[in-house]
Amino acid sequence: MKNYREALTFNTPHRRDFVNITNQVRRALENSGIREGLCLVNAMHITASVFINDDESGLLKDYEDWLEGLAPHEPLSRYRHNRTGEDNGDAHLKRQVMGREVVVGVTEGKLDFGPWEQIYYGEFDGRRQKRVLVKIIGE
């Protein structure tokens, strides 16, 4: 069995951002030399997500508006978590809707994807350095 680990680093310019990281994960897979296996990609921070969906700017804005409706950022007093001095209570909730991680099949050295699958980093409390783990096992 082979294994490979890489941490990707992000520092997004806005509080909320979506970043297509598919090519970075592809390069990690190429570096790993693994041909058959499973590839885990997860946010290492708890106010961010890794998810798979469409590379379409309108949809990404739809996600942002929808998540803001489900878990509004303001008023900050809405969340007990913000009494600790944080202002990111909403971000912890939004991340649960979008998910922490994806697991992708690796087949013949490629991410085993359907036609439109793209891996996204979803940031809900940005403007500081954060990491995404890529861990691949297989042979």
Tell me how far apart the alpha carbons of residues 45 and 92 are, in angstroms, rounded to a whole number.
10
CB nearer a copy of itself, residue 19 or residue 44: 44
Q: How far is the CB of 68 from a copy of itself (least distance, A)?
A: 13
- Positions touching a copy of itself (CB under 8 A) are 1, 3, 5, 36-38, 40, 42-46, 51-54, 56, 58-59, 61-63, 66, 70-71, 79-84, 89, 92-93, 95-107, 112-117, 130-131, 133, 135, 137-139
**Of the two residues 27 and 131, which places its CB atom closer to a copy of itself in the complex?**
131
- 123 near 48, Cβ under 8 Å? yes
* Residue whose entry in the numeric block shows the structure tokens 């190429």: 30
Distance CA 55, CA 76 (A): 31
- Taking the complex as a whole, the smallest distance from the CB of residue 30 to a copy of itself amounts, in Å, to 18
SS3 109: coil
Closest approach of a copy of itself to the CB of residue 24, in Å:
16
Tokens, residue 34: 């693994």
How far apart are CB 116 and a copy of itself at their closest, in Å? 5
Q: Please give the sequence-ordered ranges of beta strands (E in DSSP) within 12-112, or none if there are none.
A: 17-20, 37-43, 48-53, 101-107, 110-111
Nearer to a copy of itself, 2 or 127 (CB): 2
Reading the block at residue 101, the tokens are: 């991680």
